[in-house]
Chains A and B, each alone.
Chain A
Amino acid sequence: MFKWLDPYAKPETLYRICGLWFPWLMTLAVLTLLLSTVWGLGFTPADYQQGDSYRIIHIHVPAAIWSMGAYSSMAIAAFIALVWQIKVAQWAVGAIAPIGAVYTLIALLTGMAWGKPMWGTWWVWDARLTSELILLFLYLGVIALSGAFADRQLGAKASALLAVVGVVNLPIIHFSVEWWNTLHQGATITKFAKPSIDPSMLWPLLLGILGFALLLAALTCLRLRTAILLNEQHRPWVRALAQQSVHKGSVPQTNAGRGV
């Protein structure tokens, strides 16, 4: 398996693959997100208890799920970077962290907006809310640490180590705050039994979850590409690429000049 995976660890190859995937992932993400939002906001029935305000679920739940998904993928990348010393995995940590932080922030803000009409307050010190807030702090710690060193490689390595430590601590935080205080409702769709949400609401929600996942993948590709360029700028292949794009950029300009 490692033999098969090995070529993808080469920055140049990965740069091209990310470039190939990005337009597809981004288009699909925008389409599914548009579809799920329009479907969820406009065409699903209102909830019998919460009325129309439950509709924020179509943004809140996918963002919350992928805020944790992003952390686990970041931690996996960090683990790979530390154990097998693979540079691109180390850069991937820095690429995913800000996206995950923004997802966490979206989940928190939409949750607050949902909590106001339902619970009558913007914020309660409930288990889920608190652990999501701590997740945001962990993301911010990783981002802050990666920017704190004069040596960029060292920052990337240190933040990878912190991400791995954080993932060990994450379940501990989760359960500790769970036992500490709880108001948030239980999971509705992750139960293995029949989901306690109506299918007419479930489908746009699942689509939204897919859309947020695609968006995460697309943005990671984009950020990883720039990270690769930044870290490999002294390599010949990046120089060649830069020269190529300069030539490409200048051609249409001269054509336009001639046209006038």
Chain B
Amino acid sequence: MVMFKAAFVREWRLLARQKADWLNPLMFFVIVLTLFPLGVGAKPNLLAEIAPGIVWIAALLSVLLGAERLFKEDFRQGTLEQLVAARDPLFPYVLAKISSSWCSTALPLLLISPLIALLLGLSTAAWQAIVLSLLLGTPLLNLLAALGAALTLSADKGGILLALLILPLYIPLLIFASAAVDNATLGLDYSAQLAVLAAMLCLAAALVPLAVLKALRLNVG
């Protein structure tokens, strides 16, 4: 726990000093969302219809964008090597990394979601569904992105490979999250989709950190 706190505080300090790390994915998210109305036409009905899908695709791309740098700097400096050698602190370190990456990439998305709802002409019900599905779904995005980052840590072409590995794993999440928002726009109940998202999050939160640990140990060797 002490180790977790120390690692978490360190992450926050780094984020406060390198604002580009969390600002760039956020800007990317907003810009991608702006591209859609320009690309498909700005008819309000059409936008409201495709909004759940594009919000979620933009969210998972922006999380993916920030994923590569997750362990890279610590790997280059040798911090990671020391942590692997010390064995015990590695697990709290992984947890701190994942949770702080959620705070830095996904939380800002949640905070600007009212603005997004305005831009895309969404109803309040749809906006609520987007917030709830993002709240349950984005931690899963960060968990899987951390796994991808750990797996490709010492690979030659890390960045694009990371996207190739992780995007197929995002598909179930995308399906349920956009189904929840779709139901909300139609005025239907969407608690079932949220329950499935919560179940997937529980499963991933239990297993993925272990896989990340294993992948880090492999890459540091």
CA distance A144 to B183 in the complex (A): 37
Q: Assuming A144-B164, A154-B221, A168-B207, is B155 touching A149 (CB within 8 A)?
A: yes
CA distance A134 to B166 in the complex (A): 11
23 A-B pairs with C-beta separation under 8 A: A82-B214, A134-B168, A137-B164, A145-B152, A148-B157, A148-B161, A149-B154, A149-B156, A154-B219, A158-B152, A161-B214, A165-B147, A165-B169, A165-B208, A165-B211, A166-B169, A169-B172, A176-B171, A176-B172, A176-B175, A176-B196, A177-B171, A179-B175
A157 within 8 Å of B (CB atoms): yes
Q: Mark A35-79, 1 if CB is under 8 A from B, else 0.
A: 000000000000000000000000000000000000000000000
Beyond the given pairs A137-B167, A141-B165, A145-B152, 17 more chain A to chain B contacts, judged by CB atoms under 8 angstroms and listed by A's residue number, are: A134-B171, A144-B164, A145-B161, A149-B155, A158-B218, A161-B151, A161-B214, A161-B218, A162-B165, A165-B147, A172-B172, A173-B168, A173-B171, A176-B176, A177-B172, A177-B175, A180-B179
The 3 tightest CB contacts between A and B, nearest first, are: A176-B172, A148-B155, A137-B168
Chain B residues with Cβ below 8 Å from A149 are 154-156
Task: Name the contact of B168 in the complex, choosing from A138, A151, A164 (C-beta under 8 A).
Answer: A138
CA distance A82 to B196 in the complex (A): 29
- CB closest residue in chain A, given B215: A161
Q: Mark B100-115, 1 if CB is under 8 A from A, else 0.
A: 0000000000000000
CA distance A140 to B219 in the complex (A): 21
Chain B residues with Cβ below 8 Å from A172 are 172, 200
Task: Name the contact of B152 in the complex, choosing from A148, A150, A165, A169 (C-beta under 8 A).
Answer: A148
Task: Name the contact of A148 in the complex, choosing from B156, B207, B215 (C-beta under 8 A).
Answer: B156
Number of residues from A at the complex interface, CB < 8 A: 28
Interface of B is mostly: helix
Q: Mark B198-221, 1 if CB is under 8 A from A, else 0.
A: 001001000110010011001101
- CB closest residue in chain B, given A181: B175
CA distance A138 to B170 in the complex (A): 12
Q: Which residues of B contact A (CB under 8 A)?
A: 147, 151-152, 154-158, 161, 164-165, 167-169, 171-172, 175-176, 179, 196, 200, 203, 207-208, 211, 214-215, 218-219, 221
CA distance A209 to B154 in the complex (A): 40
Q: Of residues 108 to 151 in A, which have CB atoms within 8 Å of B's CB atoms?
A: 134, 137-138, 140-141, 144-145, 148-151
- CB closest residue in chain A, given B200: A172
Chain A residues with Cβ below 8 Å from B157 are 148
CA distance A173 to B156 in the complex (A): 29
- CB closest residue in chain A, given B221: A154
Task: Name the contact of B165 in the complex, choosing from A145, A173, A176 (C-beta under 8 A).
Answer: A145
Cβ distance B159 to chain A, nearest Cβ, rounded Å: 11
Interface pair A158/B172, CB less than 8 Å apart: no
Chain B residues with Cβ below 8 Å from A82 are 214
Chain B residues with Cβ below 8 Å from A154 are 154, 218-219, 221
Interface pair B151/A145, CB less than 8 Å apart: yes
- CB closest residue in chain A, given B218: A157
Interface pair B175/A180, CB less than 8 Å apart: yes
Cβ distance A127 to chain B, nearest Cβ, rounded Å: 10
Chain A residues with Cβ below 8 Å from B211 are 161, 164-165
Chain A residues with Cβ below 8 Å from B168 are 134, 137-138, 141, 173
Cβ distance A198 to chain B, nearest Cβ, rounded Å: 36
Chain B residues with Cβ below 8 Å from A150 are 156
- CB closest residue in chain A, given B155: A148
Residue among A144, A145, A158, A164 with the highest chain B CB neighbour number at 10 A = A158
Interface pair B151/A158, CB less than 8 Å apart: yes
- CB closest residue in chain B, given A164: B211
CA distance A76 to B181 in the complex (A): 37
- CB closest residue in chain A, given B174: A176
Chain B residues with Cβ below 8 Å from A158 are 151-152, 155, 215, 218-219
CA distance A219 to B54 in the complex (A): 43
Cβ distance B177 to chain A, nearest Cβ, rounded Å: 11
CA distance A131 to B165 in the complex (A): 16
Q: Assuming A145-B161, A158-B219, A161-B218, is B156 touching A169 (CB within 8 A)?
A: no
